[in-house]
Structure 1
Amino acid sequence: MSLPPTRWELGGPANEGYGRKFGELVASGEDVDGEARLADTLLPRRGRVLDVGSGMGRVAAALSARGHDVVAVEPDPVLAEQSRRTYPDLEVLPLDARTLAADALAHHGRPTSFDLAVLVGNVMVFLAERTEREVLRRVRDLLAPGGRVLVGFHLHGGPPTARRYPADEFVADVEASGLRVRLRAGSYELHPPDDGYGVWVLSRDDAPHVSTTVGHPNPIGTAEG
C-alpha cells in the first residue's frame, strides 16, 4: 500500500540536523531525558511502553534503562540507524504510525497492548496531512486497560514542513479518535500551558478519571489558547 508522504519526509535533507543535534547532545553528556522522566512517572514499574516515532532513540533508551519494556518504532531508516549506533541495545522496529497495529507488533514478537504510548519530539506535527486522527485511533487501540498517551509538540514555530497545530484543533482530533485529555501542560516539567509548546496526557474516553490543566483550577474538556 502506497502511503502519502509525511511532513517529515517532505523535509528531505533538512531533517539531517535533527538527529545530528541530539547525537551531539548525548555524546556531550547533556540532559536529554525530560520527556522520559515524565513518562516514567506515568508508568507502573516494569511498564510496557510504545514509543511511536522514536527517532534516534533517546526517550526509548532512557525508559528502557529505567526498567520498562519499551517497543520503539521508527520508519525513517536514517534515524533508525543512528539510534542503533547510539543505543545498540535498543531494538527499533521499522513500523509506520499510519499502519501500526497489534498484528504488526505480534509479527515482531512484541507486546500488543501498552501502559503508555509516547508521541513526543513533534511526532504529531510531522504526520502526513489529515492522518492525525487515524494515528490517534491506532494508538488508542493499543492501550492496555488504564493505559495512557503522552504527547508533546511545538504549537507553532517548528520547521517549515511541520504543521501548525493549535491546541483546540489537537483536542478536537483527540476526542474524535476515542481519547480524552486528562492533563495539559506547557512543558515536560509540567509548567502551566502556554502558546509555544503543548504537553498532554490522554487516555481512552471510556476510562474513568478527572482531567486537569496544570496551573488552572478547572478540568479541561477543551484546550485553552
Structure 2
Amino acid sequence: MSRWSDLAGKASGEDYDARFAALARSGKNVHGEARFCAALVPVGARVLDAGCGTGRVMIRLAELGYDCVGVDLDASMLAVARKQAPGLPWFQVDLAGFEPDSLGIAGGFDLVVAAGNIFPLLAPGTEGAVVERLSAALRPGGLLVAGFGLDEAHLPVPPGLTLSDYDDWCAAAGLNLVDRFATWDADPYAGGGYAVSVHRR
C-alpha cells in the first residue's frame, strides 16, 4: 500500500482538483512545473507524467505542444483527468510495475516528470524500483525531473526520503545528476525542505 493511498483514503480527485482551481482563481500560477519542463526539452518532445493525478501538469504541457502520456494509480484522480482532457492518453498504473510496452506505448520518452511529492508517497521499499522503471522508459539522453519535499513543512506524511537516497537510486538506474533547484521557478538549491532534481540517462 502506498503512502498516498493511506493519506488519500476516500478523498476524491474532484476535491484535489478543486483546490488547484481555487488557487488559479486567486491569481496563483499553477503551471510552474509545466513551464520548468518546457524549458528543458523542445516543443513536440515526448513527455511522461508519472503520477499525473488530475492531469494539471500534463494538460498544460499538451496545450504547449508536447506529446504527453499520463500514468497514475489513483482511479479518482484519473477520472478527473479523463473528464478534462478525454483526447489525451491516461493509464492507471502502479509505477513500481510500469512497463510502457505492455500498455501499447511505443518508443521512449524525452522527459519523465514526477511532480507533487510522488517519491515520498510511494509504497515504502519501492522507490528504487520506480526510479529504475522510469529510467528504462527514457530515451538515451532523456531527463527525469522530480520535485518533492524533504521535511515536515513540505510533506503531508512524515519525512523519510533524503536526496542522498534518491541520488543513489538514480545512479543505480544509470542516471546522472544534471542540476538541482529549490523550486519549480528554478531558484538555486542551497539546502532546504524542497528540491527539484534533474537527472539524465
Same fold (TM over 0.5): yes
After TM superposition, the score normalised by the length of structure 1 is 0.80
- Residues 125 and 14 of structure 1, relative CA distance in 2, 3 Å threshold: farther
Return the alpha-carbon distance in structure 2 between the equivalents of residues 202 and 165 of structure 1: 17
Q: Where does 1:29-48 land on structure 2 (aligned, <5 Å)? A: 30-48=28-46
Asked which structure has the greater RCO (Cα within 8 Å, sep 6+), the reply is: 2
Is structure 2 residue 160 aligned with structure 1 residue 164? yes
Shift of 1:79: 0.7
Decide whether aligned partners of structure 1 residues 159 and 114 sit closer, same or farther in structure 2, where only a CA change above 3 A counts.
same
Aligned to 1:127: 122
For residues 10-50 of structure 1, what are the alpha-carbon distances to aligned partners after superposition, in whole Å with 9 as ceiling and x for unaligned? 11337555443124334666421101001011112200001
Task: Identify the residue that residue 78 of structure 2 maps to in structure 1.
Answer: 80
The residue type equivalent to 1:127 in the other structure is: L
Aligned counterparts, 1:155-194, within 5 A? 155-157=150-152, 158-160=155-157, 163-193=159-189, 194=191
Choose from 182, 195, 198 the match for 2:192. Answer: 195
AA matched with 2:90: V
Amino acid at match of 1:154: G
Gaps in structure 1 of 5+ consecutive residues: 205-225
SS in 2 for 1:11: helix
RMSD of the alignment, in Å?
Answer: 1.9
Structure 1: distance between partners of 2:76 and 2:25: 18
Structure 2, unaligned stretches of length 5 or more?
none
Task: Provide the rounded CA distance (Å) in 2 between the counterparts of 1:182 and 1:14.
Answer: 38
Using the size of structure 2 for normalisation, the TM-score is 0.89
Q: Report whether the alignment pairs 1:147 with 2:145.
A: no
Helix, strand or coil for the counterpart of 2:129?
helix
- Structure number with larger C-alpha Rg: 1
Determine the C-alpha separation between the residues in 2 that align with 1:23 and 1:79: 14
SS of residue matched to 1:115? strand
